[in-house]
């Protein structure tokens, strides 16, 4: 499957594109493909050493957090799906 990925706070890592297309059968494989095709994203640490989302990363599949989906990162994808990758904001 080819899905659209929107990275609002990370456009500098994808040559300024508003969205990019990546292949993946599930959310995890799409994120790995995203990192493979845009290597500077590896420095951002979307995924932890276990291959799970880091605590400060939110990924939405069609406006639903993958943390709330039945299969999490293993949630299957279709060609018309859209993933949005966001970072938690912190400050004081």
Model pLDDT for residues 26-65, shown as the tens digit of each residue: 999 999 999 999 999 999 899 999 999 999 999 999 999 9
For residue 73, give its domain range: 2-87
Contact 18/32 with Cβ under 8 angstroms? no
Question: Is 49 domain-assigned?
Answer: yes
Question: Is 74 domain-assigned?
Answer: yes
Q: Distance between CA 65 and CA 81 in Å, rounded?
A: 13
Question: Is 30 domain-assigned?
Answer: yes
Question: Is 92 domain-assigned?
Answer: no
pTM for the predicted model, two decimal places: 0.91
Angle (nearest 5°) at CA 27 between 23 and 29: 55
What is the mean pLDDT of the segment spanning 62-80? 96
Q: What is the CATH number of the domain that holds 61?
A: 3.10.20.30
Contact 3/76 with Cβ under 8 angstroms? no
In the chain, how many domains are there? Answer: 1
Contact 13/44 with Cβ under 8 angstroms? yes
């Amino acid at each position: 499957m080819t899905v659209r990925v929107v990275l609002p706070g990370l456009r500098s890592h994808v040559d300024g594109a508003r969205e990019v297309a990546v292949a993946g059968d599930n959310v995890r494989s799409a994120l790995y493909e995203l990192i493979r095709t845009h290597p500077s994203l590896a420095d951002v640490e979307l995924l932890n050493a276990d291959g799970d989302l880091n605590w400060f990363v939110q990924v939405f599949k069609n406006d639903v957090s993958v943390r709330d989906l039945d299969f999490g990162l293993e949630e299957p994808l279709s060609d018309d799906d859209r993933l949005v990758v966001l970072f938690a904001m912190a400050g004081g």
